[in-house]
Structure 1
Amino acid sequence: MGKERSSFSSKIGFVLAAAGSAVGLGNIWRFPYLAAKYGGGIFLLVYIILAVTFGFSLMIAEIAIGRKTGLSAVGAYGALSKKCGFMGWLTSLVPMIILPYYCVIGGWVIKYFAAFISGQVQAAAGNDYFNGFISQTGQPLFWFCLYVAATAFVVLLGVEKGIEKVSKILMPVLIVLSIIVCIYSMTMPGALEGVKYYLLPDFSKFSITTVLAALGQLFYSMSLAMGIMITYGSYMKKDANLESSVGQIELFDTGIAFIAGMMIIPAVFAFSGGDESALGAGPGLMFVTLPKVFASMPMGGFIGTVFFLLVLFAALTSSISLMETVVSIFQDKFHWNRKATCLVVMIGMLVIGVPSSLGFGVWDFIQPLGMSILDFFDFISNSVLMPIVAFLTCIFVGYIIKTKVIVDEVKLSSKFRREKLFVVMIKYVAPICIVAILVSSVLNAFGIIKI
């Protein structure tokens, strides 16, 4: 373990940075869309139960591995068991695949923010605005490059001056802005039906696909199985209370996802006159449906500007943590200085991200597995690699190094109140659930089953 390893200056700095990583586009556009698709209240209930059991256990394991070894994912597994060094590389692949396409979507968010702040609200609400924009060549590439530069700038500043400082400002601002938009959305005429749909569980809509969708979202939303929590754990001080930190990160993450649903689902109900099919806009919900909602509101231009600023904050805190993870991997492996590493990673992000950006326009004829290039990268990282990494981590902790190693690390700074839950989840429940996600998502991608 190197003496020069950076660390967070305080527990609150760590919690806000890790929560900032967990709170991103997954919470603000992916969670509401899945909640809408899988029955509203019942999806919400299943997700919360999974977050405090499954999500809690995996996050404890990852942060403890990072703190114990003081290494990023690429070295941490090998440091605890020489025969498992390959798991570090497999884990490290995930943020390297996600980061470039995530920055392409981040660029779209900046574009919408720019459109709203410059008064182009009605234009942005047009039916063909989104597809017209992403099918161009120059514009999406420009906004993508701008987003990459903003992410790289914060990471270049380092852990305390960059990531911790930015997270301490952005996270509270994000929460305040979310609540303002949420209250506004709920008071619209017709929004009450949406509130009921979202909050009241309808058990007739429960199915195994509800559980699988909620589990898949958990990985994406809580930054699990991508090396981020291991990296952040490696910056965590030994006297910081690990269990309560994880509880607070979960609270932030689930809270923001919950509020995002309250912003979007009632607003869509109000706008569509209670038509549930309007919730089926999927990933386009944020870019296609919401601008229409804002355009129909009094003060919609202002509300829309605030909303896309909020989404931009959330996206940046996540891409910063993804880039920090990749930078940390290269620094640990090659012992480069921070500036050189940031530059190399930034160039890599730009090169790998270009196909995802052009895949909706001049390169739209390239369709691996019948998906756009961006969707393909999303499928490989979220539906294939992340479940594999999470499964291997459970086996690694439960049966190779044994759960006692993690339990002892947690107990360095506090009691481990949920120790029994952690052991049962990691050894028995989580591996079975993860294999179910992996099999179902692959079968779904090949059209064998429909989720």
Structure 2
Amino acid sequence: MEKSRSMWASRATFILAAVGSAVGLGNAWRFPGLVAKHGGGAFLLVYLVAMFAIGIPLLMMELSVARKFHKGAGESLRGINKKCEFVGWAATANAFVIVTYYAIVFAWVLMMFFFSYKFINMTGDSLAASNLFANITQTTWDVTGYTIPIPVLVSAALAWILIYYCIRNGASSVGKVVKYTVMMPVILLLIMAIKGCMMPGAIEGIQKLFIPDMSAFQDPSLWVDAIGQVFYSLSIMMSIMFAYGSYLSEDSNIATDATLIALCDAAVSLLSGIVMFSTMGGVGMLDSISASGVATAFIIYPQAIVNLTNSGIFNAIFGAIFYLMLVTLAIDSAFSIVEGVSASISDKFKLNPKKTTQRICMIAAVISLLYTTRAGLAWLDIVDAWTNQINLIVIGVMECIAIGWCFDLKKVLKQLNRNTKNYKVPYWWFGLAVKFIAPVSLTLLFIWNMYDLFFVKGGHYGYALWAEIAAGWIVSALVFISGIFIKIAVNIRKKKGFVENEIVWKEDE
């Protein structure tokens, strides 16, 4: 292990950082929407099964491999098998694409927080509340508006400054930040949950959240969405957990920590569901909960905020709490993605991590200007569909094949159980999940998404074909051939005397 490598200050710091990365905006707005879409408790049950059958084993797998090599995604997968290094770079490149637009979503949330005072004069005016986001961001669903509103530009700059500030010194600075940013949204969610449950009509919302609609189990999309939510929510297959795992000490108990991280992630999702369903039930808007996160957070929930009470000041305070909660969720996930990308690149080319992070933030900030335009929401919708619904799933399948089939998985299990004292993870469960359940489930999820794209949506997501080719097909192609660019860069540097790291899995003494 490199002596200069940044390490987690404590086990608690690592868990907070990992939970902060896993618990993001999807927990607050996508999860409740999927619960509403798929029969309440029916979705919860399938979601929990998928968490234990797929999510936790894959999280354990990534952390174990990363701790073994103390390297980012690219180098760790090269240590597994040199032919599989490109999988790590595909994950890294895809994560880079994601953070370019996730940072702007973070910026939009910041704007909604700063403009929450406008709810004071909107009591009972649902139309005005639903138009607040469009008015302050000036976004449209058209891909041809390229002017950049100054408030959005300023907010985007602030978002990138905050992201860089949080990770400027790697694990050490992340550890200082997450002590506050991880606990704050939980506290704010609890405050909102208490208020929501006190409202008349909240019981109806809670019942819809927990009581299962048995007919929903017959819908294949329930199983697809539940598996997808687990997969997206835990920050796996995005190079993040490789980076965070590489900062673990040799005496860390990965099996226990990974399980705790997943349970915390599920708990926050459930708490977010209670907030959403109790509040929407209290204002008589249960049927308005949408599976679209952007619509829920920026259009639908503002309507609920202005109908909470007859006091505009109270409604504005509640709105500020809601968007502050989203701010704290967004920043942890955003800087963790940058950290994952930075660790992969700095480890591969032996670069200064701080300077690498600076350059990544600068390049990503420039690219993210596309999403600050009036057409930003449309471009985000296209890129997000491809990076999450297609790229991430394919990367997941390839990573399972690389570690489960192109390597001796029992060695990974030995690393996983290294410091497990009371109960060791059994091979039958770990192997079954990594080698069969996860890749098969993800393959079926990919097939379903392809079917939905080509046979339901007619081969596109409703935007101009040229835009979808540019932001979808071409960007995805670049993600999967990113390993070629890395190889070219390595060869160029070798001519100047660069020597690659020796990455070999050596059995522990």
- The reply to whether TM is greater than 0.5 is yes
Tell me if 1:444 matches 2:455: no
The 3-state SS of whatever aligns with 1:296 is coil
Identity among equivalent pairs (%): 28
Bigger drift between 315-324 and 32-41 goes to 32-41
8 Å contact from structure 1 (residues 357, 374) kept in 2 = no
Partner of 1:127: 130
Displacement of 1:300 in angstroms is 1.8
CA separation of 1:286 and 1:418: change in aligned 2, threshold 3 A = farther
The 3-state SS of whatever aligns with 2:456 is coil
8 Å contact from structure 1 (residues 101, 353) kept in 2 = yes
Partner of 2:180: 169
2:331 partner amino acid: L
8 Å contact from structure 2 (residues 106, 159) kept in 1 = yes
Tell me if 1:384 matches 2:390: yes
Larger radius of gyration: 2
The 3-state SS of whatever aligns with 2:405 is helix
Partner of 2:480: none
8 Å contact from structure 1 (residues 71, 231) kept in 2 = yes
Q: Tell me how far apart the structure 1 counterparts of residues 19 and 346 of structure 2 sit (CA, whole Å).
A: 23
Q: For structure 2, which runs of at least 5 residues remain unmatched after alignment? A: 140-147, 462-509
8 Å contact from structure 1 (residues 294, 303) kept in 2 = yes
Partner of 1:427: 435
Partner of 1:368: none
CA separation of 1:273 and 1:5: change in aligned 2, threshold 3 A = closer
Q: Deviations over 1:354-381 (max 9, x none)?
A: 11232xx2578xxxxxxx2101221121
Partner of 1:333: 348
Q: Tell me how far apart the structure 2 counterparts of residues 118 and 130 of structure 1 sit (CA, whole Å).
A: 11
- The number of equivalent residue pairs is 439
Q: Tell me how far apart the structure 2 counterparts of residues 327 and 27 of structure 1 sit (CA, whole Å).
A: 25
Partner of 2:47: 47
8 Å contact from structure 1 (residues 25, 315) kept in 2 = yes
The 3-state SS of whatever aligns with 1:89 is helix
2:320 partner amino acid: T
Q: Tell me how far apart the structure 1 counterparts of residues 84 and 342 of structure 2 sit (CA, whole Å).
A: 22
8 Å contact from structure 1 (residues 396, 402) kept in 2 = no
8 Å contact from structure 1 (residues 190, 273) kept in 2 = no
1:321 partner amino acid: S
1:353 partner amino acid: S
Q: Following superposition of structure 1 onto structure 2, how do residues 278-427 of structure 1 map, counting pairs within 5 Å?
A: 278-280=288-290, 282-283=292-293, 284-298=295-309, 299-358=314-373, 361=374, 372-415=378-421, 416-427=424-435
8 Å contact from structure 2 (residues 205, 278) kept in 1 = yes
Q: Deviations over 1:39-81 (max 9, x none)?
A: 2211111111111221011101111111111100021100121
Displacement of 1:419 in angstroms is 3.8
Q: Tell me how far apart the structure 1 counterparts of residues 413 and 85 of structure 2 sit (CA, whole Å).
A: 22
Q: For structure 1, which runs of at least 5 residues remain unmatched after alignment? A: 365-371
Q: Deviations over 1:155-181 (max 9, x none)?
A: 113212x11111122222221221111
Q: Tell me how far apart the structure 1 counterparts of residues 234 and 199 of structure 2 sit (CA, whole Å).
A: 31
Partner of 1:96: 96
8 Å contact from structure 1 (residues 23, 221) kept in 2 = yes
Partner of 2:191: 180
CA separation of 1:405 and 1:314: change in aligned 2, threshold 3 A = same
Displacement of 1:396 in angstroms is 1.6
Tell me if 1:61 matches 2:61: yes
2:360 partner amino acid: V
CA separation of 1:12 and 1:134: change in aligned 2, threshold 3 A = same
8 Å contact from structure 2 (residues 239, 344) kept in 1 = no
1:100 partner amino acid: T
Q: Report the TM-score when normalising by structure 1.
A: 0.92
8 Å contact from structure 2 (residues 404, 435) kept in 1 = yes
How large is the Cα RMSD of the aligned pairs?
2.0
8 Å contact from structure 1 (residues 90, 389) kept in 2 = yes
CA separation of 1:168 and 1:149: change in aligned 2, threshold 3 A = same
